[in-house]
Amino acid sequence: MSKPCDVSDYQRLAQKRVPRMFFDYADSGSWTESTYRRNETDFQRLLLRQRVAVDMTRRSTATSMAGDKVSMPVALAPTGLTGMQHADGEILAAQAAEQFGVPFTLSTMSICSIEDVAAHTQKPFWFQLYVMRDRDFIGRLIDRAKAAGCSALMVTLDLQILGQRHKDIRNGLSAPPKMTLNSLLQLATRPHWCLKMLGTRRRGFGNIIGHVSGVSDLSSLGAWTAEQFDPQLSWDDIDWIRERWGGKLILKGILDPEDARMAARTGADALIVSNHGGRQLDGAPSSIAMLPTILDAVGDDIEVHVDGGIRSGQDVLKAVCLGAKGTYIGRPFLYGLGAAGKAGVDDVLRILHQELDTTMALCGERLLTNLGRHNLLEPTLFDRPVQ
């Protein structure tokens, strides 16, 4: 295959190089996957206004997200099992993001631990928190993120129970993979992946194993995790988390205007319009379609970001035109990571930036901060009355 030109090229490469159970984990949604697909296709409905005979020199995509200066309004989203796409995946992705000048967000369900990533990076990264029943563990996890110098805490609100993901069930997903006939056949066709994995000690959930009473290996971890996602999570818990953390707070998983208003009342620094990449409530609207409604609901009370379905720099630009102050990519950087390690993540970020910069110029803009609904042909396409 020739040099990848876009994210879809890396998607195809990753599919060839990553065992099916882990590729499918990243590249799938819940139930019928209708929301997963809608996240992407709704971006295609947004049309851009082409402008000509304007000065396109001295362009800049620089801006800020939650107070952090960024080279473009893109952050690497928290993704579980990143270290199963490629050995030491979280460390490699964090290093790529650091070099490019965009935030990296480490998942609670990462393979590499908070301390692993901090030891291999120079600048602060963000940490994403799942709220578990074991509040003592959660408190210690927040303290570990603080001790590692994380500059923002992101609380995911839409995973109180796990959406049914059929591909994971059929593949018998586990980390590391259980030695079944199915998994052995998958591994046998991915020798490069296996060789890399043999060269690292990081093959379990580094933020959890050894940090929870009674959880010392993967066999005990599975039972603990199944019981720990907290279905009683409430807005009162956000107050406790904010007080314990004491720093910048981002709330992820907002898809309803009333929830957005509640998020703004917590005093958080930003919220993320998100349906968990189509991996939770199948049949929900796309994130980009709900962005204008959420923005109308909160006004300037809280900074609004968006994730889900972003596959190009043009998608980033369209989200910014609708009013998002930042965007997140999960699958695109995982494709790059699975295909080529850190070099793949580097190249995915380069591709997205080039697409963003070129599209901005062809829309007649030099500064990303000047983008707005005036750059869209139908700026009210996704507008809905606020309930």
Per-residue pLDDT tens for 259-303? 999 999 999 999 999 999 999 999 999 999 999 999 999 999 999
Going by DSSP bridges, is the β-strand pair 248-254/270-273 parallel, antiparallel, or unpaired?
parallel
**pLDDT for the residue numbered 125:** 98
Residue 228: inside a domain: yes
Q: Is the pTM of this model over 0.85?
A: yes
- Check whether 331 is labelled as a binding-site residue: yes
Query: Does the annotation place 276 within a ligand binding site?
Result: yes
Would 383 be classed as within a structural domain? no
Instruction: Tell me if 283 is assigned to a ligand binding site.
Output: no
Q: Using pLDDT thresholds of 50, 70 and 90, give the confidence band for residue 179.
A: confident
pLDDT, residue 387, reads 45
Q: How confident is the model at residue 176, as a pLDDT?
A: 66
Q: Contact, 317 vs 69, CB < 8 A?
A: no
Q: Output the pLDDT for position 221.
A: 61
Is 25 annotated to bind a ligand? Reply is: yes
pLDDT at position 165 is 86
Banded pLDDT at 190 (limits 50, 70, 90): very high
Residue-wise pLDDT for 96-118, tens only, equals: 999 999 999 999 999 999 999 99
Calpha distance 351→328 (Å, rounded): 15
Q: Find the domain containing 58 and state its range.
A: 7-375
Number of domains in the chain: 1
Other CB atoms within a 10 A radius of the CB of residue 337 amount to 29
> Is 10 known as a binding-site position?
no
352 in a structural domain: yes
Cβ atoms of 186 and 173 within 8 Å: the answer is no
Q: What local confidence, expressed as pLDDT, does residue 235 receive?
A: 95
Label residue 210 by pLDDT band (50, 70, 90).
confident
Q: Which one from 86, 120, 276, 353 is the annotated catalytic residue?
A: 276
- The CATH number of the domain holding residue 368 is 3.20.20.70
Does the residue 384 lie in any domain?
A: no
Find out whether 311 is annotated in a ligand binding site: yes
For residue 133, is pLDDT > 80?
yes
Whether 171 maps to a domain, the answer reads yes
Tell me if 386 is assigned to some domain.
no
pLDDT over 50 at 6, yes or no: yes
Active site includes 305?
no
How far apart are alpha carbons 84 and 70 in whole angstroms?
Answer: 27
Q: Is residue 82 part of a domain?
A: yes
Confirm whether 86 is domain-assigned: yes
- Give percent of the chain with pLDDT exceeding 90: 83
